[in-house]
Structure 1
Amino acid sequence: MSALVTAWQLNASGGGEELRQDQIASKLKEDKIVWVHLDAMDPEAKPLLKEFCELDVHVEASLFASNTRPRADEFEDGCLINLRGVNVNEGKDPVDMISARLWISGNMIISLRRQRMMAFNDLREQLARGKGPTGQGDFVARVSNLLTVRMLPVLEAIDDQITTFEDMDYLKRGVDDDLIEQRQNAARLNRYITPQQQALLKLSTLEADWLSDGHKTSIRQALDSVMLYLDEIKELKERMEILNDQLQKQSNGRIEHTMYVLSVVAGIFLPLGFLTGLLGINVGGMPGVEDQNAFWLVSLIILVIGIAEFMYFKWKKWI
């Protein structure tokens, strides 16, 4: 499989021409914007990138880093943008957010992925239909919104699960494991969405020739959505904390009830145990040893004492 996922020359009207690998270098010499999308996991990605683009060593390291945080930084010859999106690939955990790495410079748009990203697939399909990005600013704005909009279903899934728990009159056993999982999901989303807010804020105020006021407005829409998501995560964490307190209260209630039952049982049988223990000592002079009816008499006495204790506990409302 080639390191080149796709490459397009944009025609400034929403369409473009899909390029072969050997066409990229020559097309970059023209005035039109060229988008090159690479698979960062392919070992040929770095050599291929160097064929038509000379990057600062720090920029290259950031583009190919295994772990990144959302950022938007200007350099002398371009702009480096890292954003995160939920992982919608089959068999993957959506909250395991994956990164979209962009380098904007001259008439180039360089994007890299480590896993398949639907946002870039959407842009490719839009260009094929003639309804794609018209330039670099439009490209960045669309990526920002495409990544952001796919976060909503993941948050809604967590919200639905928490609402299900809240609708229960009594939280069943096993809910605590599900609640822990959802708290972990919220924490992992918050880990990347928080710095994404800062990256989009910086991007929306960036002074760059390729970024128009309209593009900044579109990026601010993504920023507003991210801020709403952060508020939602905060609310979800508070609701899950309340559910956790409820689980703890239920657990303490079960323990207290069990200890109470054991205490009542012990209270009833303690004097009976003392009586049977006393009569069971093997010493001379024990009354009733020679009387054949003594066993039944002792049993009757124990039964009467047990009933009396039960009635007393009932009268005191201990049971």
Structure 2
Amino acid sequence: MSGFAYVVHDGKVESPPLKQALGFRAGLVWIHLTTNDARAKAWLGGEAGLSPYVIEALTAAETRPRCDPFGEGAVINLRGLSSDELAASDLLASIRIYAHDGCVFSVTRKALNALQPVRARVEAGKILDPGDLIAALALAITEELDPVVADLGDSLDDCEEQIAARHAFELRRMVNRVRSQAIGFRRFLNPQRAALEKLAAMPSDWLAEDDRLHLSAAADRAARMAEELESIRERAALTHETLTDLRSEQIDQRSLIIAVVAMVFLPLTFITGLLGMNVAGIPFAHEPWAFWGVFWFCVVIAVVIAAYFVRRHWFER
């Protein structure tokens, strides 16, 4: 188990050890743990003295974004990008927060990219209370996610442009990747928007009016990204269908060419097989022009058959 703590009081910022931070009474005491084992539960229940409900919410293995009032505070779960390797079905790392007047406990199991800029703001003295901290975390998460969602849309735009050039086979994997990522992000952004909206509307003394405005802004941004991801998901599905149709069309076209070639050579094979029999009595077998006669006869038959297929528009797409 590892972590850090900050104490902000009268504009001054300190970073004491975790155990010492518990004894401070200040404008903001932020205690953060990074763990995936049982030691966090023991520390939060023992030295921190948190209730079993809060401990379970902070250390649960699986979480979705949410906001639930608890006593004078609230339990908040948010999701953001991580530098750690994550499962394909779980593209965002979680941060679990318990906040009340003057104090914030947070826990992560995977590295959360948004933590670093928020820590920098705390150290610069720009975050003074729990409302500022949660709003800063929400804004940092959405600001980092925004260009990622935009890149997904750009990737899909590139795929749609290349469809016109009929590069169907090369695009299927890219479209599937974009669609999978969009589904993974959207899975958490919708409940995260709802959690931020609920927190912004929650009647709490430790949330100032500007904190509520920042939370509402983060919720609006999450809602916009969720709508964009839904659009990307639908466009990816349509693009995938188009690629499947193009692939079927290409296969049909190639099968048609093979069938036409087989139809052209079928009578020629019959003629050459018939004349190639090693029996007596084949007409003109000893004439000097016999070979070229058969050759040009086969050419004429092949041209007639090909002309028939062209006239019937078999080669048209």
Pick the TM interval, shorter chain.
0.7 to 0.9
Name the SS of the counterpart of 2:110 in structure 1.
coil
Shift of 1:19: 1.2
Equivalent pairs, count: 311
Q: Identity, % of aligned pairs?
A: 27
2:4 and 2:32 in contact (8 A); partners too: yes
1:12 and 1:135 in contact (8 A); partners too: no
Q: Which amino acid aligns with 2:204?
A: A
2:72 and 2:100 in contact (8 A); partners too: yes
* Match of residue 294 from structure 2: 298
2:45 and 2:55 in contact (8 A); partners too: no
* Match of residue 241 from structure 1: 237
* Match of residue 268 from structure 2: 272
| 1:144 equivalent in alignment to 2:104 | no
Shift of 1:20: 1.9
| 1:72 equivalent in alignment to 2:67 | yes
Shift of 1:257: 1.4
Q: Give unmatched runs, 5+ long, in structure 2.
A: none
Distance 1:300 1:69, change over 3 A: same
Match of 1:189 among 171, 176, 185: 185
- Identify the range of structure 1 (300-309 vs 217-226) with the bigger mean alpha-carbon deviation: 300-309
The within-5 A match list for 1:97-246 is 97-131=92-126, 133-168=127-162, 169-172=164-167, 173-246=169-242
2:101 and 2:206 in contact (8 A); partners too: no
* Match of residue 56 from structure 2: 61
Output one character per residue of 1:37-84: Cα deviation in whole Å (capped at 9) or x when no partner.
111225533333234322232321221112110111112353111111
Match of 1:84 among 79, 97, 105: 79
Shift of 1:276: 3.2
TM-score by structure 1 length? 0.86
1:100 and 1:113 in contact (8 A); partners too: yes
Shift of 1:210: 1.0
| Rounded Cα–Cα distance in structure 2 between residues aligned with 1:31 and 1:10 | 6
Distance 1:21 1:213, change over 3 A: closer
Name the SS of the counterpart of 1:118 in structure 2.
coil
* Match of residue 48 from structure 1: 43
* Match of residue 35 from structure 1: 30
| Rounded Cα–Cα distance in structure 1 between residues aligned with 2:106 and 2:10 | 19
Shift of 1:106: 4.7
Shift of 1:241: 2.6
Q: Which amino acid aligns with 2:7?
A: Q
| Rounded Cα–Cα distance in structure 2 between residues aligned with 1:195 and 1:96 | 15
| 1:20 equivalent in alignment to 2:30 | no
Q: Give unmatched runs, 5+ long, in structure 1.
A: none
| 1:256 equivalent in alignment to 2:259 | no
| Rounded Cα–Cα distance in structure 1 between residues aligned with 2:287 and 2:124 | 105
Output one character per residue of 1:11-53: Cα deviation in whole Å (capped at 9) or x when no partner.
254x4221123422332xx354321111122553333323432
| RMSD across aligned positions (CA) | 2.6
